[in-house]
Chains A and B, each alone.
Chain A
Amino acid sequence: MARKISPAKTAFWTVIGWAAGFVVFFPILWMFLTGFKTELEAYSTPPKFLFFEWTTENYQTILHQRDYLHYALNSVIIAGGSTLLALIIAVPSAWGMAFSPTRRTKDLLMWMLSTKMMPAVGVLVPMYLIFIWLHLLDTHIGIIVLLCLANLPIVIWMLFTYFKEIPKDILEAARMDGATTWKEIVFVLTPMAIPGIASTVLLNVILAWNEAFWTLNVTTIDSAPLTQFIASFSAPQGNFWAKLSAASTLAIAPIVILGWFGQKQLVRGLTFGAVK
């Protein structure tokens, strides 16, 4: 805008904007603060905002007695593993569809996306049984493969859109320069696709970390990630709000931070490109 906006207008909207943001963000803020209270203070009325006895005892309990790190590690393994597996399958697929499209390519892509739209309960029974028969319940490999398949359509879709944005003639120039298909992928395509691949990884890690259907149903202890750990607070013993808050803060922190950086990727990935 080349014209000045009146300071009064800015002040007005600033107040309203911050108020709205604060209201939406409040539960998170409240949770963050509660994590530093003693259990007694957490339950006190009227609730204390800032002037209470700040303590890290909840964090210590969570980390040492409740074995938070075990669950956190599982979250990392599951999110990372399923993303890696998805990439290995998706990169060649997206490459094939973006650079050697056939008349069927668009239909194929739509079909893949439609598999994501199937409700998970539709296959809960057979997947659960298959997991029992193959001894995959509560294993890492089981849930990793499951989440990989569940998110594969989105990963392929996102990579496809990023690959499509690479100008075709740069790849042709590489071919004229004597590059074989393999060298073309290694020296030209991949370096140019790295930002797109990074964005896709970001989005998939977020989706896998927060996944709360399969992780709640096919993991119990050994491979249980943070979603399960937090879920265990639904059947608590004694006062637990402060501990829940501390655990939750730790559980969500990495993803909220990643999410802040990944807003654009989110829009592209979850709207299947319909909104730019």
Chain B
Amino acid sequence: MGKIELKGVEKTFGNVHVIQGVDLVVEDGSFVVFVGPSGCGKSTLLRLIAGLEDATGGHIMIDGVDVIDQPPAKRGLSMVFQSYALYPHMTVRNNIGFGLRMAGVDKAERDRKVDEAAALLNLTPYLERRPGALSGGQRQRVAIGRAIVRQPKAFLFDEPLSNLDAALRVNMRLEIARLQKSLATTAIYVTHDQVEAMTMADKIVVLSAGKVEQVGSPLELYEHPDNLFVAGFIGSPKMNFATGDIAKKLGGVTIGIRPEHLDLSRERGAWEGIVEVAEHLGSDTFLYITVEGIGRVTARATGEFALKVGDRVWLTPKPEHIHRFDAEGRAI
């Protein structure tokens, strides 16, 4: 079982309130992603759960037991670090089996479990190598192997894919998601990449400046963002915002419309603009258009949309996809 609950968790460094009163429930077996810009406190929150930092206030319950005063070794969690943090002087086998050794598991049993984990992660041919002789992707898998072999109550991932190149990152994303589902272990995953968040999570926790902005499934956050911050953070390219009269006319202090929800026309539409930059990806075209009264607006067209820099174009936001926000930035 691996249900984790945070109640009023706080962390201050000196005078800085790094984490401000976080309440959260992570259901057993779910994949929860902490996402947010740099410095929002997502890694700190993860480390508080792990026990690598002391919380200044609140409770952290794992399966109903408050572990706030317990050291990491006693919490029954395992962590995959951004830098993998493998033991350089030990073989892959000993790296993966280290936790079992610390728990007093005898050698035969240790070897069996390590072999199992290695097979799952395609690491069997590398078991006798040292981390220095492995590629980045292989090291990553060793780090994951080390985490799963102890059968912890939950996995904690701290931006594990940041140090990999783009192609590898996509592959590992799939592998991690698949692994978690098959093991049915709770996972908390920290990333600044919202694409990772959207594709891997059952539930996303959006954090900003130490506070939880919104918690929900990827689709919920995409379709019904609670505030300006979440609206602007989720979705790539970013949502377009407009204020002033244009917003008032459409029913809010600020309105937002995603690039993929703008209709493009060469003849007529609600907003008129000039194309500044056109990005042709083949499958999509992204146009960066300057619209008077709004500024830079991003629009997406599927397939090829032949417009050049300097062309005039008309944009119409799809009415059912307009997001409205009040003066405090909350969704109306």
Contact = CB atoms under 8 A, between A and B. Distances in A.
Interface stretch (A42-50, A168-176, A251-259): A168-176
Contact of B87 (A176, A180, A183, A188): A188
B150 interface: yes
A169 B88 contact: no
Given A176-B50, A176-B78, A178-B103, A170 B87 contact: yes
A191 B77 contact: no
Contacts, number: 59
Interface string A153-185: 000000000000001011011111111100100
**Size class of the contact patch on chain A:** 10 to 19
Nearest to A175: B72
Contacts of A173: 79, 81, 85-87, 146
Interface residues of B, number: 23
A192 interface: yes
A176 B79 contact: yes
A170 B52 CA distance: 12
Nearest to A190: B89
Interface in B61-90: 71-73, 77-79, 81-83, 85-89
A174 B97 CA distance: 11
Interface in A20-49: none
Nearest to B82: A169
B71 A177 contact: no
Interface string A177-212: 111100100011001100000000000000000000
Contacts of B89: 191-192
B108 interface: no
B83 A178 contact: no
Interface in B118-154: 146, 150
Judged by DSSP, the binding face of B is loop
Contacts of B50: 176
B34 interface: no
A170 B103 contact: no
B99 interface: yes
A177 B79 CA distance: 9
B102 interface: yes
A170 B86 contact: yes
B31 interface: no
Contacts of B102: 177-179, 183
Nearest to A191: B89
A178 B71 CA distance: 9
Contacts of B103: 178
Most chain A beta carbons < 10 A, residue from B51, B82, B99:
B99
Given A172-B52, A192-B89, A177 B83 contact: no
Contacts of A191: 89
Interface in B190-205: none
Nearest to A192: B89
B73 A180 contact: yes
B81 A172 contact: yes
Contacts of B82: 169
Given A169-B85, A192-B89, A178 B99 contact: yes
A177 B146 CA distance: 8
Given A169-B85, A170-B86, A177 B99 contact: yes
Nearest to A194: B89
A176 B155 CA distance: 11
Nearest to A170: B85
Contacts of B78: 176-177
Contact of A176 (B77, B86, B88): B77
B297 to A, nearest CB: 43
Nearest to B71: A175
A174 B98 contact: yes
B120 to A, nearest CB: 19
Given A167-B85, A169-B81, A170-B85, A177 B52 contact: no
A178 B73 contact: yes
Contact of B88 (A172, A174, A179, A192): A192
B83 A176 contact: no
B98 A167 contact: no
Contacts of A188: 87
Interface in A71-128: none
Contacts of A167: 83, 85
Contacts of A192: 87-89
Given A175-B73, A176-B77, A191-B89, A169 B83 contact: yes
A192 B83 CA distance: 17
A192 B86 CA distance: 12
A170 B78 CA distance: 13
5 contacts: A170-B85, A170-B88, A177-B78, A178-B150, A191-B89
Given A172-B85, A173-B79, 16 more contacts: A167-B85, A169-B81, A172-B52, A172-B79, A173-B86, A174-B98, A176-B52, A176-B77, A176-B79, A176-B99, A177-B78, A178-B102, A183-B102, A191-B89, A192-B87, A192-B89
Interface of B: 50-52, 71-73, 77-79, 81-83, 85-89, 98-99, 102-103, 146, 150
Report, nearest first, the 3 A-B pairs whose CB atoms are least far apart: A177-B99, A178-B102, A173-B85
